[in-house]
Structures are given as structure tokens and as C-alpha cells.
Chain A
């Protein structure tokens, strides 16, 4: 049987639900935490979509590929360090750091070569450029690495103190949840209090005026791509370790889901991306758990359609009259 990635189908390859599924409550909690962990990763990736959209009104279709590249970099680092016999947790930390830097460099470069020259061009042009970039990066990784799935080492060890809860909360889920929350809190503080964060908010609200108070808008755009890419890389490494395998299309699949989450929450809204990610994660997890894992995508997109019918701008998006 061809292995399927986690983002395609319900259950993780490596961490099958370990509960014997005897108690209703236990099963519910298992789905709840599974959905929370999955949703946190959606949120991490969705933040990149929503921040870029907020600043330059572009849907960065290559964002999923940045996530995938982060996972590949994590694999390379993990492979090398494992061979050198380093302890697992330190490998995880170093893999995260290097993947973050590498993806950030990719995100920065993609903006400079594929989007910046098209600023001021009709809106369709950068969008097409983004799709082109996505296809290019996918194929590049396919050719440079392999079209097959590669096993990803388990970087998040089972911790002893988690043993009593292992029936419904795997250590890797807990780790993903905690890391995501930490990263999102850091991002919120950054945007609220730093100089660059303020410049980002101002640019998102009115780019021309931001220029007129002296904000270097090019710098703000670069920073947005760097931060979004870094967040995606964190998600990429964590998920890869959780599932245990990666290939060149994981970015495409995760990208679609995360983009859905961003739209669900209201594209351009940072709290929206987080909420959208969580709602999507829980919907999928509960649909897979109580109905069938074949139906999780159906429920996910049904939810998207319903929300967009009743709140066209998404859960937390600004309801604005569209200029036609």
C-alpha cells in the first residue's frame, strides 16, 4: 500500500491512536487534542498566508513549499546529527533552528525575485508568479531529492511524565501544541510592541501613509515573508517528526488546508488565522473520529462553504463592502 501523508488522510502514520478507545471521554479527549495539535500547525502555516495578504494583498501560493522545504532541511540536519549520535531533543532544537533560518532565506528570496518586480503590476500578475514559484519549488525538490516518501526520524521522544495521559495525548501532540502557542505568543508580542511590528500594522492599514511617516515598506514586506516562512518551517519540522515521513507534495497539501484556515478565520486577520486553524483542525479530527477518516476533508470544506455563506469575510475578518 502506498503510504499516505498525514495531511491527506486522518491518522498519523507513526502515532496511531494509542487509546483502546474504551471510554467515551477518553476517545473524545484524544480527538480533541489530536485536533488541537493539527489545528495549531494549520494556524502556524495560515499565519504566513494571512500576514502576507495583510501587507501586500497577495495570496502567496508558494508558502506551502516553504513549509515543505523547512521539513526537508529538518530531515537533512536530523540525519546528519543522528549519524553523529547526538541526543534526540538537541537534534530537534538544532533542526528547528536551521530549518527556520533556511526557510526564512527562501521566503525572503522568493519575494525578491518573484513578487517585488511585479509591484504595481495588475493584481493577477503576482498571483500567477506565485503559482509558478510553487510549481518550480515542488519540482526542484522532487528532482533534487526524490519523488518518493522519505522516512523522517522521530525527534520528539515520549516523555515519562506523560505516561498516565498517553491514552489520549501523545507527547508529540503536546509538544506541537506547546511550541505553537509559544511561537504565536511571541509573534503577538512582536507585532504589538516592537518597532517593526508597529510598522507592519501601519503598512497593513495604509501602505501609502506608512511610507509618508517614514516606514521602509520594502523592509516591512521582507520581514513579513521572513516571519511567515519561519513559522511555516517550525510547523514543517514538527509535523514531519510527528508523521514520520515527508515528500515534495506535503507543502501543497498542507498549504491548501492552511489557506482554507486563513480564509475561514478571515484572511488578513492574525487572530483569525489562529482561530481558523483550530476550527479546521477540530472539525477534521472529530469528523475523522466519529464519522470516518474518509470524510474529514468533506467536513472541512463544508464548514468553509457554510462560514463563507454566513460570514463572507471569515470569522474574524473585517466585513467590508467590496469595491467592484
Chain B
């Protein structure tokens, strides 16, 4: 459904991605793990068109989407929950969610999806009129995920959703990711440092080092892989 083919991405003269190829099937959860600065966030920004690749192709549903403007890519159904959540601080929770549905015009559908995200995260309903910037970290993460869901994405890209959250909330967030995948058959591309959790949630995983994909396998195999165990699972 989504495929990266031999992607090279640069920031100015600095090469961040080297010959990256990743394939995501419809309805699949895949995870990309790697150390700080490996190029995980860059991979997601390349998919979304914010940092276009210099070489290679990004394909979505068979069409080339690299070089397409970011807003057009969102329109095709790819949404990202970026690193650091990037909540609009001076918009209310409700307005943040409305921004998620920016490209939609089906009022009824938006209303239904709004009810659905309030069902997933009841706290957001309580905080509806509060400014996004005043939410706690965990609440902001919930809002960021909800905002992406409001676009009704076909593919949801999540960049370190567990970062800085308490273990209990992390479990809750991962449960909800599974639920989203199960209930609406949303394809999920999960970037994580929390390799242990991520590999348990996902079906397949990729390991990235210094901008290259070094390993790719089913998650249970990666969990059993000695190199992965040593480098990412702390075993």
C-alpha cells in the first residue's frame, strides 16, 4: 500500500537517509526502530512530503507521491502524529481536532468521528474548551493521535507516541493503536525507541542505523534476534 524505494534524503549537504526501502501492506502495523539520530523521523517527513527525497520513490496505492505537496499527500489519506506532538498551543482542544479534519467537508462524518475519538479518550471531551498548550504531556499525545484520526487516514504514521509518558499511559496508547488498526483497518507505521513495546504491537519491524535499514523481519523473529536484543531491548 505504501512503499519507499531506495530513498536518499538530505538536509542541505547532510545525508540523513541512505537507500531506504520499506514496504507497508494494507491493514498492517509495521514499526521502525533505531537509536537517536538514526533517521526515523526523517523517514516519516519524507513520506509526508515535508522533506522530499533527493533520490528514490515513495509510492502510495501504486502512485508516486514524492514531489507532491504535503497538503495533497494528506488528502490522499496519509496522516502523521509527529514527534513532539506539535499541538497548536493557542487553539482549544476542539479547534485542534477541527484542524485535523481540515480537508474534510462531510459534517456528519466529522461529527461521528469526533464522537469516536471522545470515546477513545474521554478526557479530551472534558477538556474540549481548554487551550491545547495547557494540556499535560499525555493529554497532548492523546490529542495529537485524535487530531490525526479526525482526518480519517488510510495510513497513520506515529512518531514515538510513547515518548515521555508514564508506563500506564504508554500501555493505554499502544492498546488504542491496536484498536484503531483492528476496528477501522487503518494501516499503521509506528516509529519507536521503545522497541520492546513496539515489537509486541506490530506485525513486522525494520531496524534503522545511521540512515540505513539494517534489519527487516516479522516482529517475533526480531524479538528473538540476538543483535536486536543486545542493541534495542537491553537484554
- Which of chain A's residues have a CB closer than 8 A to the CB of B71? 211, 214-217
B135 within 8 A of A: no
Closest beta carbon of chain A to B145's beta carbon, Å: 13
* Chain A residues in 8 Å Cβ range of B15: none
Are B70 and A211 closer than 8 Å at their CB atoms? yes
B217 within 8 A of A: no
Stretch from A84-92, A124-132, A198-206, A277-285 at the B interface: A198-206
| Neighbouring A residues of B95 by C-beta, 8 Å | 198
**Which of B80-88, B106-114, B183-191 interfaces with chain A?**
B80-88
Chain B interface residue count: which class? 20 to 34
Which residues of B are found within 8 Å of A217, using beta-carbon distances? Answer: 71
B34 at the interface (CB under 8 A from A): no
Asked if A205 meets B48 with Cβ closer than 8 Å, knowing A198-B98, A213-B99, A213-B100, the reply is no
B88:A212 contact, CB within 8 angstroms: no
Asked whether, in the complex, the Cβ of B88 is within 8 Å of the Cβ of A206, the reply is: yes
Among A202, A216, A218, contact of B88 (Cβ-Cβ < 8 Å): A202
B81's nearest neighbour on chain A, judged by CB, is A212
B214 at the interface (CB under 8 A from A): no
Cβ-neighbour of B151 out of A201, A211, A213 (below 8 A): A213
Contact A208–B50 (Cβ < 8 Å): yes
Interface flags, B55-90, vs A, CB<8A=1, else 0: 000000000000001110011000110100011111
Question: Residue A214 contacts which of B88, B89, B90, B102 (CB distance < 8 angstroms)?
Answer: B102
Interface residue count on the A side (C-beta < 8 Å): 18
Kindly report which residue of chain B lies nearest to residue A216, judged by CB atoms.
B71
Residues of B close to A195: CB separation below 8 A? 102
Q: Per-position contact with A for B6-22: 1 when CB-CB < 8 Å, else 0?
A: 00000000000000000
Whether a CB of chain B sits under 8 angstroms from the CB of A209 is: yes
Residues in A neighbouring B70, C-beta threshold 8 A = 211-212, 214
Shortest B144–chain A CB gap in Å is 9
- A201 contacts B48, C-beta separation under 8 Å: no
Contact A205 B89 (CB under 8 A): yes
Question: Can you list 7 A-B contacts with CB-CB less than 8 angstroms, sorted by A residue number?
Answer: A198-B99, A201-B88, A210-B99, A211-B48, A212-B70, A215-B71, A215-B102
A→B interface (CB under 8 Å)? 195, 198-199, 201-202, 205-206, 208-218
Which residues of B are at the interface with A, using a C-beta cutoff of 8 A? 48, 50, 69-71, 74-75, 79-80, 82, 86-91, 95, 98-100, 102-103, 147, 151
